Structure 1
Amino acid sequence: MKTDSIFYRLFKTFPRIFFELIGQPNIDINTYQFVSVEIKQTAFRIDGVFIPVPNTNAETVYFTEVQFQPDTTFYRRLFSEIFLYLRQNETVNLWRAVVVYPTRRIETADTIPYQSLLSTPQVQRIYLDELGEAANNTFGLRIVQLIIEREETAVTSARELN
């Protein structure tokens, strides 16, 4: 997906954007490294994982998925990937999943098997078109907003970022 690679590059180059997006701007970004993780012996690939850097006090692993296309089995795949990762990485105790959608319309209705997870802070769903005023608070979030901006106005909006 084109948007996956855009977000991967954004999060890799400017990790602060991810933490601003999830409402945690005070996390020390130097305590994390951002990687794409392939789960062994399967075709699963997690879009991105913020893994605590060794010898820091960061503990939470953040799984990030960017979902810009409808996918009726999205949560089935996402939680399979996460739990397989946890099985293969027994030292991970604290984790959060962050799913970035352009809009609620993209989200699948197949949520019943995962309702207990989806209703907790452990899984955060972000809808870029609903960021509202928060999207104007930081340079990073304004860049993210460009991804869902209409083509006719995106160039003008990008020029106004200075």
Structure 2
Amino acid sequence: MKTDTIFYSLFKTFPGIFFELIGYSASEADAYQFSSVEIKQTAFRIDGLFLPSTDTPNHPIYFIEVQFQRDTKFYSRLFAEIFLYLHQYQPTSSWRAVVIYPSRNLDIGQQEDYRELLTSQRVRRIYLNEFDEEAKQSLGVKTVALVVEA
């Protein structure tokens, strides 16, 4: 998707923007390397992956999915991607998933099969149109807003 490519380029070039989106300092990006990975033996592709640097192994891995269209199979695919990655790479770090939506109406909501994951601290859903005025002052958030408006 076009937005996936834009967000990949944005996070690759300005990784601090991602951490601003989730409420952390942009400098947190210094402890990570960003990439997009293809998981072998399937056609799954994770939109983005922040892996902690070797000197910060206690930081979590961040799986990023940018979802700009309604998809009833989205969460099954998201968790399949994550768990297949965990199976294949056997990372020692904990993990978090961040799903970025332009607005809440594209989120298919709680699905019973994934309720525990969706209500846990592991999964965070961000709705770009719901940022408060203080968050909107961040250069990173403003940059992402431009992508949404385009």
TM-score (normalizing by structure 1): 0.86
Q: Matches of 1:32 and 1:58 in 2, distance apart?
A: 11
Match of 1:160 in 2: none
* Bigger Cα Rg: 1
Match of 1:71 in 2: 71
Inter-CA distance 27–112: structure 2 relative to 1 (3 Å threshold)? farther
CA RMSD of aligned residues (A): 1.6
Counterpart residue identity of residue 3, structure 2: T
**Structure 2, unpaired ranges of 5+:** none
List per-residue Cα deviations over 1:9-52 (Å, max 9, x = no partner). Answer: 11100000000000111653221110001001111000000011
Match of 2:43 in 1: 43
Please report how far the alpha carbon of residue 120 of structure 1 lies from its aligned counterpart in structure 2 after TM superposition: 1.4
Q: Matches of 1:96 and 1:74 in 2, distance apart?
A: 16
Inter-CA distance 57–80: structure 2 relative to 1 (3 Å threshold)? closer
Which deviates more, 136-145 or 122-131? Answer: 136-145
Question: Could you tell me the percent identity over the aligned residues?
Answer: 55
How many correspondences in the alignment? Answer: 150
**Structure 1, unpaired ranges of 5+:** 152-162
Match of 1:142 in 2: 142
Q: How does 1:8-157 map to 2 (within 5 A)?
A: 8-25=8-25, 28-109=28-109, 111-149=111-149
Inter-CA distance 135–28: structure 2 relative to 1 (3 Å threshold)? closer
Inter-CA distance 63–112: structure 2 relative to 1 (3 Å threshold)? same
